[in-house]
């Protein structure tokens, strides 16, 4: 994923093909025994759609047929509808715990306090689980020394 995070600085070009190996909230993850899931943890509010950038970078390789990207960012989400918050949080919690790996991305546009909290929690949880954790920071992220 190191090379992929480097590619994230470039402009996203939407894939011109369907992507069966991708889900976003509120879709539930369903995977086979030979598939691996990667949860895209990181900034959602107040930052670019970096999840689509990494989606394009990963799907541009030919070695990702068994990788399912799990994206908590919804294409349509009304932040003013407070009834959606518990549904969103519950979905994220379930899918963080059911994913094989998690990437935490810290963009320069926001501090991502929830992502910092989740990274702290998963730095401990991942020691007891088989979940792999990957971390990336934009060079302009203001708290990169804390990550």
- pLDDT at 58 (0 to 100): 83
**pLDDT tens readout for residues 62-73:** 677 889 999 999
Contact 55, 19 (CB under 8 A): yes
Contact 52, 15 (CB under 8 A): no
CA distance 143 to 70: 25
**pLDDT tens readout for residues 25-76:** 999 999 988 999 999 999 998 999 999 999 988 877 767 788 999 999 998 8
Contact 22, 55 (CB under 8 A): yes
**pLDDT tens readout for residues 83-107:** 999 999 999 999 999 999 999 999 9
In the numeric block, the tokens 């949880």 are attached to 125
> What is the pLDDT of the chain when averaged over all its residues?
86
Q: Is 93 exposed, middle or buried (0-12, 13-18, 19+ CB in 10 A)?
A: exposed
Query: Could you give the 3-state DSSP secondary structure of residue 41?
Result: strand
Contact 106, 42 (CB under 8 A): yes
What's the pTM?
0.84
Residue 73: both structure tokens together: 């960012």
Contact 95, 72 (CB under 8 A): yes
């Amino acid at each position: 994923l190191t090379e992929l995070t480097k590619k994230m600085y470039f402009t996203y070009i939407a894939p011109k093909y369907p992507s069966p190996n991708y889900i976003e909230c509120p879709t539930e993850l369903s995977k086979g025994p030979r598939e691996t899931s990667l949860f895209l943890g990181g900034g959602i509010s107040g930052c670019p759609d970096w999840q689509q950038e990494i989606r394009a970078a990963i799907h541009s390789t030919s070695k990702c047929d068994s990788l399912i990207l799990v994206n908590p960012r919804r294409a349509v989400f009304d932040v003013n509808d407070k009834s959606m918050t518990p549904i969103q949080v519950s979905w994220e919690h379930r899918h963080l715990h059911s994913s094989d790996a998690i990437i935490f991305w810290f963009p320069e546009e926001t501090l991502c306090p929830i992502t910092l909290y989740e990274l702290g929690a998963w730095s401990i949880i991942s020691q007891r689980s088989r979940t792999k954790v990957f971390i990336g920071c934009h060079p302009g992220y203001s708290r990169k020394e804390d990550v």
